[in-house]
Amino acid sequence: MTLFWFIKYIEDVFFKHSCLMCSCTIKEQPKLCEICLLDLPKLSLPKKGVNLLLRPDINRLFKKVKFDSLFAALWYQEPNSIWLSKLKFNNKIYFRHVLIQIIQSQINIASKHENWIWPDMIIIMPLHTRRFSMRGFNQVEQVWREALLTLPGFDRSLLTEEVLKRTKYTKAQTNLNAKQRHKNISSAFTVKGDVNGKVIAIVDDVITTGTTINEVSDCLKAAGANHVLAWATCLTPLQK
Ligand SMILES: [Zn+2]
């Protein structure tokens, strides 16, 4: 932890809470003030409905789409890309509160729309047991579990565990091309629970080409799922 973050952490714990970005004083936990929250590269809803695939600029990101609907909170850009990677690779849980705040704020906006549907089941993208024991935590779960469970009126029974397993140990997708990504993730998941006829949301941290979410969607639909909704913290914008 750098000296700056250490001082900020001590300040927040013992003296006052300040905005993670502008340092103005705020009432709660290490979070963002309302102005900084507004300034982030959040994803606004399409003109009709809540499915981000209806936005042409977002639809263009994916060559194939096997899932039925997409919700994501942010573009994968600074500063949030830094928060996500610090959380994922260094377990800096300091950033968890901020990501939870942003996700809740975006769900609150989307869920007020008449086209929003709550699924029958929400599955957090599982890690392979080997990856989990190396990392010690699932970074998607760290953020999304609390984000959902502390949403007012959220039905806790929607969050399901043990339904989807990652049964093949795969390389990180980041440095692979499209063909390699597909081969790497192919047959990586196994459905262990009853998903027949259900609407299922699968939650991930960053969606880039959609290869992993597509593979999960195929797997869930082969097991009888009716609809698969992809939910993510971030979408990676097209490289210019
Ligand atoms: Zn601020």
Looking at residue 29, what is its pLDDT?
Answer: 67
**pLDDT higher than threshold 80 for residue 1:** no
Q: Using the mean position of ligand 1's atoms as its centre, give its distance from the Cα of residue 154 in Å.
A: 28
**pLDDT higher than threshold 60 for residue 41:** yes
Secondary structure E strands in the chain: 17-18, 25-26, 69-75, 121-124, 164-166, 189-191, 199-207, 227-235
Burial class (CB in 10 A: 0-12, 13-18, 19+), 38: exposed
**pLDDT higher than threshold 70 for residue 23:** yes
Q: Which residues, in sequence order, are bridge partners of residue 75?
A: 235
Q: Please enumerate in sequence order all residues whose Cβ is within 8 A of that of 177, keeping only pairs 6 or more positions apart, or say none.
A: none
Looking at residue 107, what is its pLDDT?
Answer: 96
Determine contact, residues 143/103, Cβ cutoff 8 Å: yes
pTM of the model: 0.89
Q: Using the mean position of ligand 1's atoms as its centre, give its distance from the Cα of residue 10 in Å.
A: 18
The residues whose Cβ lies within 5 A of ligand 1, an ion, are 19, 21-22, 33, 36
Q: Average pLDDT in the 30-42 region? A: 88
pLDDT grade, residue 235 (50/70/90)? very high
Q: Using the mean position of ligand 1's atoms as its centre, give its distance from the Cα of residue 18 in Å.
A: 8
Q: Using the mean position of ligand 1's atoms as its centre, give its distance from the Cα of residue 59 in Å.
A: 32
Name the residue with higher pLDDT: 200 or 17.
Answer: 200
Q: Using the mean position of ligand 1's atoms as its centre, give its distance from the Cα of residue 90 in Å.
A: 24
Span 62-119, pLDDT tens digits: 989 999 999 999 999 999 999 988 888 776 767 888 999 999 999 999 999 999 999 9
The torsion angles phi and psi of 7, rounded to 5 degrees, stand at: -65, -40
Lowest-confidence segment of 60-64, 157-161, 165-169 by average pLDDT: 165-169
Name the residue with higher pLDDT: 31 or 35.
Answer: 35
Q: Which residues, in sequence order, are bridge partners of residue 25?
A: 18
Q: Using the mean position of ligand 1's atoms as its centre, give its distance from the Cα of residue 14 in Å.
A: 19
Looking at residue 57, what is its pLDDT?
Answer: 93
Q: Using the mean position of ligand 1's atoms as its centre, give its distance from the Cα of residue 93 in Å.
A: 19
Q: Using the mean position of ligand 1's atoms as its centre, give its distance from the Cα of residue 38 in Å.
A: 9
Looking at residue 12, what is its pLDDT?
Answer: 57
Which structural domains are found in the chain, ordered by start? 1-37 (no CATH), 40-235 (3.40.50)
Q: Using the mean position of ligand 1's atoms as its centre, give its distance from the Cα of residue 26 in Å.
A: 9
Q: Using the mean position of ligand 1's atoms as its centre, give its distance from the Cα of residue 22 in Å.
A: 4
Span 114-127, pLDDT tens digits: 999 999 999 999 98
**pLDDT higher than threshold 90 for residue 168:** no
Q: What's the farthest any 2 CA atoms get from each other in the chain?
A: 54
Instruction: Please state, rounded to an integer, the average pLDDT across all residues of the chain.
Output: 88
Using N-to-C axis directions, what is the helix angle for 139-149 and 96-111, rounded to 10°? 50
In the chain, how many H helices and how many E strands? Answer: 9, 8
Q: Using the mean position of ligand 1's atoms as its centre, give its distance from the Cα of residue 233 in Å.
A: 20
